[in-house]
Structure 1
């Protein structure tokens, strides 16, 4: 049989894919075997990535993709999950599989992602490498950098790592060969996959183009005005093609108060923690710290910042070699600019629209250029690798020994004696393990370099194998260490979460909509069970939720975790059941009083690893009031009384007083001096429950409720207010009134009424229209500009070798 011939450019990309997947398999398969087929980690990965994947998978398959009832108090599904999953082709690979299979796919998808990152890194680097094997080595460095391994914690970050090299490759294709369409296509892909990372990619692309232009790069510096204009046309068309997802997302995230946090003052010029500078420096010379477990710099306030950039085996030696070489290269200028930007807060924040919250989530782009510096230095004659490795070793030792052996004197509070300790790190055993890995990596590099001058092919094989070996070693250590930070995997997640709540059977199931509470349990546990909840760990929810919670004394930044002190909102939000996980956290019963930690709750049963308590003052969805107060009056109440006041009177915006009166409400004149005791709370709950709708059912388009009333009234629903909602009462359009600081009410007449709320994702239809038109325009652009037929490369002169 004739052997299949694979073109050179595809052969090395395929080799990189398989090598990356093989290395990743060695890393992930042992953990999958240990976790009975699943891949579970700790922290955010367990409580966000896994349940989000399964919930979104089930949502898409069921067609219920407009409004998510299991995300916090309810959320715009597209707006909330476009950041996490909806643009990811890896997520869409799960759709043909049944729901129960999705958690088992997390590990295989990671293996595929690492392999794809290796391949796309190789594709970009191949242009600058004299051999394909050198590009494969560069792809391995990029795919298994400290940034990639650190962000195993954040599953959805790897999509950006995979696709970004193709965006750079597409720009180079345009600039080197005037190849039409590929830049527009990959602009669309990167924007569609993840809008947050795309912002940083745009900044990086601008820097990349400007540095190469002003460095005199032949194919960049000599671009014509026409070709420059057409490059912009492709960029705009690429972004416009993503509007089907981008527009509804923008309309959703602009409600989030976390985006309005610009850098200013001294904090724009200097980091507020001096340890952060050391954290940034050390991340280039050592494997990454665990998120939330900063070790080298315990007080750098950089948890979850994605500070990782170490290149396995080579560390910073390739970068230092490139910077020390006398010959001018554009990437020397670019990487110098990037290092400066990493050190200046306002410049670092440019990669996230100048938001002052510290993140280094653009470092994957930096690691690609570091990989480029490394592999191109391996093919240059003006590079002194020995000096570069010595510099890398010296800096590694200085950082390691300074932190590891630095004396620190503290005063003993008991007897006022001085105590001297050595080492500034927080976890000494882990710290010295990191130092050892970094030093062993450099030692192996020295051994491999013995073959550099006289056995280049063998050197490349040894170097590639060394990168794979070190990647496996430090990744196994990193993931194992992370898994030791949580005992939830086998005690709770596998037996009681990943079973989908199959062992939970409550009398309300299938009969009555209600939310559940989890006391001191794992975040997002109800999402595993597909049950609505008041506890949620999710960064992107309706702005009305983020408006409501702070008014009752509940912090709402990345999660909704109302404390037991605001017990009244449980009844307000139709929360009937509370789960107290047996193997997690405190008990709901206070050991000092032997009573529940919230009034009005009683033990019901024990199921699925949790003691279950029932709210005896549960209020079904859709109830009404007799009185109202204005938002201004509500804001004047003591914070501790506001949640209780929400059960006494409906809060209307100051401009909606007339609507309240038309809804049959009278003003509550003495809301500031009324009784706020527990007994009064019980009585208020009973009053509200007596007015509740006889039925409340949700479906793929919204919800339907049935109510009977002796008079005209406003009915309140604890569903977050959003502009996408529309309402009908008895088939006629009805106005939705924003009430209770972020929820909805609608007026119904006397008698029996059918209330219908329908949700339409804001921006989705116009977004789809813009996408459709943009793809048509892109096709027209390709037809008009590619007159020689073909959407293939133009035969421009090859770039001189010195441009590498």
Structure 2
């Protein structure tokens, strides 16, 4: 096994050379540098703060537990990265990538050994799983690896439970807990796949009645394991309810509108996948998470096993899994997201490998495969490949040529290794060499296509050089926590998460877990001027928007598109550096300011239908926008505006808002403090999401928080000098912690009983 671990390290290093030669580090385009790196940096900052509740660098501030539970919060690999200084983070990311491949190999190897696969073939199976197309082509989704590692462990726990091995109940509870803890969304995929596994395991077993009787207890133990995660699940559910993900409903695709996406997956059973799919069978779109191809073997040995062992439960599992994979049934794995996703492909991959290594174990050359079978398989694989290219549409010619060369090279390398494997009567050395060769080439090609070189060859002008410009050159230093969150910064650049990278609260964020409170603000308040694709990215930079959101500094990168500034900005240049210019926003209004008038949200609803759409942020800056149901409350201190002056002078509006505003403001990871003087009683507006986890205090006395300006906050403050304090505790956290503790006590009781009765354990 030590030899295999060394070979894994060697393959990953060689496969990463294209990135090291370009950047001196392991860096990739798209989500790896758009989300994964900045999210890990923010996680490290939040952990070091001591109270990781409120992240000012996410959106306009957001619930850290709920926003990062899907990505980084519960990842041991991220915890390891957080031990290093920020400047070493990229180096440590590659180290943890190597560790992930190793852990994936070890976890799957443990499962194959549990399934009575010989040690030699279990090692082969572990390598097939670790270097499957799913693993390689999803490596830039940093958080996709952990479910791959945990899923085989979950199946091992299920096997232990079915066989009544020692401490089987405790093991099953812990495995269920870890499955959810590591990634609560992927847990849906893992549990459904595990249910298919258990169904086939029981249905084809002669002792099915005995095994079936244990099913209710097993389900109860899994529920207990899930409930231990309540401290994470309750705040997350509270945060996401009513948001974009939840309100879009369950995207099933069962109306067969998504059938082309499901048919497209047929190709991934045969073909390697080094890049997100742009050459699909029927649609010009696709995702890395579709791929299940095994290095060298594909599903060749799977066919051999199923043909020779037709009544095996593994054959039944393969058939059930492929039906789920290739039909709209797949969508039960992808709730609340695109029906085209196949993020559970790691489970199918593991099942296919189980059949492959089982065949190698059981055949022992008694049922040798003729070379003609290899050629028939190769003919089918090449046919699917060519058919996919023929049916692919909406593809840039340069991408098509680029991918055609990569796919063709990898396909023929795989087939050549497969021929060599069969010709040498299934030599394990030949198969091992073939796996490593294919994995190395696929990883290297993937890293080329996912780098600046690949995007340049693909003529994606908007993305060329982004990794080098924003991550390698490091033109803007990271702000220290000592000067943190007194104002916001605007980054006028193509890259939306520069605030996370540089520790500057920004007005543009790319984050897939959408902020529920900002949903109305983004989709209604500035519909024509904001791109909303799992992100908040101003499409045009307006003085009114920056003033409303308390932007003090503007970093204008020299790659910015000039048409993204639709009016003259009120800037003063502070410094000019290679690659960007730093400006001071003269329209800056400290966070926490007052209004004289208000309007109802109904007025904003009428404005959004106007053509051309008016400057809605300027309207929000002119008048406090309140829900119609709260008009009576705000009428006590403010006048209701009779009409909205769409041509009002922005200079005079800003001057009015700057007249009475906070004397000081400082954000923390548990809220913020503010000091303000008012000549009369008034409502003070803070451009902070009106999250239900906030509590507000004026001079230590709690006051209600009102939802204004389509999702932001305001409180009532009496005249005079006052200290304002907002304290954040994630909604649902207390209840979740209580349930987690009670569930943990149940686990302790279960473990205690198993220890007491350990002498009665037996294996069936």
Q: Is TM (by shorter chain) over 0.5?
A: yes
State the SS of the aligned residue for 2:665. strand
Match of 1:344 among 294, 319, 327: 327
Aligned to 1:61: 48
Match of 1:488 among 448, 466, 481: 466
- CA distance in 2 between counterparts of 1:601 and 1:711 reads 32
Verify: 1:268 aligned to 2:250, yes or no. Answer: no
Verify: 1:716 aligned to 2:694, yes or no. Answer: no
Alignment of 1:691-710 (within 5 A): 691-710=660-679
Aligned to 2:629: 655
Aligned to 1:535: 508
- Contact 2:251–2:331 (8 Å) recurs in 1: no
Aligned to 1:462: 430
Verify: 1:294 aligned to 2:278, yes or no. Answer: yes
- CA distance in 2 between counterparts of 1:709 and 1:360 reads 56
- CA distance in 2 between counterparts of 1:498 and 1:126 reads 51
Q: Offset of 1:436 from its aligned partner?
A: 2.6
- CA distance in 1 between counterparts of 2:485 and 2:103 reads 46
Q: Offset of 1:530 from its aligned partner?
A: 0.1
Aligned to 1:795: 762
Structure 1 length-normalised TM: 0.87
- CA distance in 1 between counterparts of 2:534 and 2:146 reads 22
* Contiguous gaps of at least 5 residues in structure 2: 456-463
* Structure-2 change in CA distance of 1:217 and 1:626 (3 Å): farther
Verify: 1:196 aligned to 2:213, yes or no. Answer: no
State the SS of the aligned residue for 1:523. coil
Report Cα offsets for 1:216-249 as digits up to 9, x if no partner. 354x542263x33331231111111122222222
**How many corresponding residue pairs?**
742
Verify: 1:616 aligned to 2:592, yes or no. Answer: no
Verify: 1:149 aligned to 2:136, yes or no. Answer: yes
State the SS of the aligned residue for 2:271. coil
Verify: 1:186 aligned to 2:155, yes or no. Answer: no
State the SS of the aligned residue for 1:70. coil
* Structure-2 change in CA distance of 1:200 and 1:177 (3 Å): same
- Contact 1:268–1:344 (8 Å) recurs in 2: no
Verify: 1:70 aligned to 2:70, yes or no. Answer: no
Deviates more, 1:472-481 or 1:513-522: 513-522
Verify: 1:520 aligned to 2:496, yes or no. Answer: no
RMSD of the alignment, in Å?
2.8
- CA distance in 2 between counterparts of 1:449 and 1:45 reads 38
Q: Offset of 1:202 from its aligned partner?
A: 1.4
Q: Offset of 1:607 from its aligned partner?
A: 3.2
- CA distance in 2 between counterparts of 1:194 and 1:743 reads 30
- CA distance in 2 between counterparts of 1:18 and 1:470 reads 17
Report Cα offsets for 1:81-139 as digits up to 9, x if no partner. 00001111111112332232222211111000011101111111113344201001001
Aligned to 2:19: 31
Aligned to 1:173: 160
Report Cα offsets for 1:39-96 as digits up to 9, x if no partner. 1010111111111111211210122411001111110011100000111111111233
- CA distance in 2 between counterparts of 1:233 and 1:390 reads 49
Aligned to 1:780: 749
Q: Offset of 1:426 from its aligned partner?
A: 4.8
Verify: 1:318 aligned to 2:321, yes or no. Answer: no
* Structure-2 change in CA distance of 1:772 and 1:599 (3 Å): same
- Contact 1:580–1:612 (8 Å) recurs in 2: yes
* Structure-2 change in CA distance of 1:742 and 1:23 (3 Å): same
Verify: 1:396 aligned to 2:386, yes or no. Answer: no
- CA distance in 2 between counterparts of 1:608 and 1:299 reads 42
- CA distance in 2 between counterparts of 1:536 and 1:369 reads 38
* Structure-2 change in CA distance of 1:788 and 1:19 (3 Å): farther
Verify: 1:282 aligned to 2:270, yes or no. Answer: no
* Structure-2 change in CA distance of 1:424 and 1:103 (3 Å): closer
- CA distance in 1 between counterparts of 2:65 and 2:160 reads 33
* Structure-2 change in CA distance of 1:357 and 1:545 (3 Å): farther
State the SS of the aligned residue for 1:268. coil
* Structure-2 change in CA distance of 1:703 and 1:397 (3 Å): same
- CA distance in 2 between counterparts of 1:74 and 1:371 reads 44
Aligned to 1:98: 85
Report Cα offsets for 1:112-169 as digits up to 9, x if no partner. 0011101111111113344201001001111111111111121110011111110011
- Contact 2:136–2:443 (8 Å) recurs in 1: yes
Alignment of 1:200-211 (within 5 A): 200-211=189-200
Report Cα offsets for 1:167-223 as digits up to 9, x if no partner. 0111011112342311111111111010000011111121111122222354x5422
Verify: 1:162 aligned to 2:149, yes or no. Answer: yes
Q: Offset of 1:786 from its aligned partner?
A: 5.1
Verify: 1:760 aligned to 2:729, yes or no. Answer: yes
Q: Offset of 1:661 from its aligned partner?
A: 2.1
- CA distance in 1 between counterparts of 2:392 and 2:332 reads 38
State the SS of the aligned residue for 1:327. coil
- CA distance in 1 between counterparts of 2:180 and 2:711 reads 31
Alignment of 1:104-143 (within 5 A): 104-143=91-130
- CA distance in 2 between counterparts of 1:217 and 1:120 reads 28
Verify: 1:222 aligned to 2:205, yes or no. Answer: no
State the SS of the aligned residue for 2:231. helix
Deviates more, 1:687-696 or 1:208-217: 208-217
Verify: 1:744 aligned to 2:713, yes or no. Answer: yes
Report Cα offsets for 1:581-616 as digits up to 9, x if no partner. 12x3424797xxxxx754434544313631223322
- Contact 1:261–1:356 (8 Å) recurs in 2: no
- CA distance in 2 between counterparts of 1:472 and 1:97 reads 28
- CA distance in 1 between counterparts of 2:577 and 2:45 reads 24
Aligned to 1:418: none
Aligned to 1:562: 538
- CA distance in 1 between counterparts of 2:292 and 2:685 reads 51
Q: Offset of 1:511 from its aligned partner?
A: 9.3
Deviates more, 1:526-535 or 1:62-71: 62-71
* Structure-2 change in CA distance of 1:224 and 1:787 (3 Å): farther
Report Cα offsets for 1:659-678 as digits up to 9, x if no partner. 2123x10110112xx2x23x
Report Cα offsets for 1:684-716 as digits up to 9, x if no partner. 111111111111111232111111111100000
* Structure-2 change in CA distance of 1:407 and 1:689 (3 Å): closer
Verify: 1:213 aligned to 2:198, yes or no. Answer: no
* Structure-2 change in CA distance of 1:353 and 1:700 (3 Å): closer
Structure 2 length-normalised TM: 0.91
Q: Offset of 1:501 from its aligned partner?
A: 6.0
Report Cα offsets for 1:507-542 as digits up to 9, x if no partner. x99498221222233220121110010011011242
Report Cα offsets for 1:785-804 as digits up to 9, x if no partner. 554327xx93323xxxxxxx
- Contact 1:68–1:75 (8 Å) recurs in 2: yes
